[in-house]
Chain A
Amino acid sequence: MARIAAEQKFEVSPAALAPANGGNIYECEAVSLELFPHGQRRLIIDRLSLNVRAGEFLTIVGSSGTGKSTLLRLLGGLMPASSGSIRFRGSAVTGAPSGVVVVFQDYSNALLQWRSVARNVALGIEGKLDRAEIDRRVRQSLQLVGLEKNASDHPWQLSGGMQQRVQIARALALKPQVMLMDEPFGALDAMTKASLQDEVLQVHERTGTSFVFITHDIDEAVYLGDRAVVLAGPPGHIHKTVEIALPRPRDQMRTRQSPAFLDYRAEIHAAVLNAGGH
């Protein structure tokens, strides 16, 4: 019940809740990526097939070199795949699809240092909506990440965790159906990381947005996810998929101490070790 009330407050586009194609918002089939650094052919991702269900929180774990970030760039339309098909809501991804937005790990590079927090958040909607609607969305987005008091600050005046919140708010202002997050909390301390995890879970719950969340932190993958995909490589491919049936809402204390959490953690840990990688 609480969820429905919150959704009305944020006015999620109905498409985020009513999926096309049998509940899958993303469908990837036999996706490969080859690059040619120094003229040598290198296979980065090898015939990877993966669906993302609408409304799902999907986490992707793997050691470095398994193509996690590259996979996210492909999903976000930031680079084209060499072969295979990536479809977002039924249509092939060519360029960044509308309704999808990427949040990057290096928040200080990803924010415009010369713009205030509010104007950073407005960057993706400026010129697309009228003034009043932009102001409203900026306010709502900043509220969702708890930064409404910092609207007129500049990014360099904020802590790392707050800067990452700005980047998340900027993504939320577009009211995306899917948020693609590339190790967003990888550079943050443990305390900040925990509170941002809970904020992202709240956003997920309130807005019904689907998440694809890359991490190398197994605990994080279990804590956040409805499903965790373990990548192996190079070249990157899916090693194992684990459905995580932990109850929601999740709780930093109770969830992490539950036997089920520890079982999932052990299972994924074993899978990551098995998968190898660099």
Chain B
Amino acid sequence: MEERKFNTLQMIALVVLRVMIGWHFLYEGVAKLMKGNWSAAGFLLQSKWLFAGIFKWIANTPDVLSAINLMNIWGLIAIGLGLMLGCFTTIASLAGMALILLYYVCNPPFVGLFYSIPMEGHYMIVNKNVVEMAALFVIAVTGTGRFAGLDRILHKMFGKKK
């Protein structure tokens, strides 16, 4: 058996965390897909911090916007599936962190910044995006895919033998 730092119960808890985040990402992607006309424009246009310029440019350039919309939807779906199945878990969680970081940086909850599509709840610097990023960090470094996920099979079949 590979050396594990956690006992079974702890690994199960981490697997549950991974699957829940996976479901969240997957549904976010699928719901936007089913809606048919979802666009990131509204969200991008209310950007208010350092990178506001870039985000607003994306929103105002139709070709770039539609590419971004597509990448966002399918990115969410891919990351969601990866996490739920425990497949390429590390890549999926790092990609998830990067995606959420983009969302965060677009609308950070800093003092003095108000948004027309506000996130439900009260936040000061740390909001739900930050929490989910931190959770994905945990998933990225704890190898839950190899414990209970397709990664276990993939690793056994194709992984580097010691």
Do A and B interact with each other, yes or no?
no
Residues of B within 8 A of A (CB): none
Residues of A within 8 A of B (CB): none
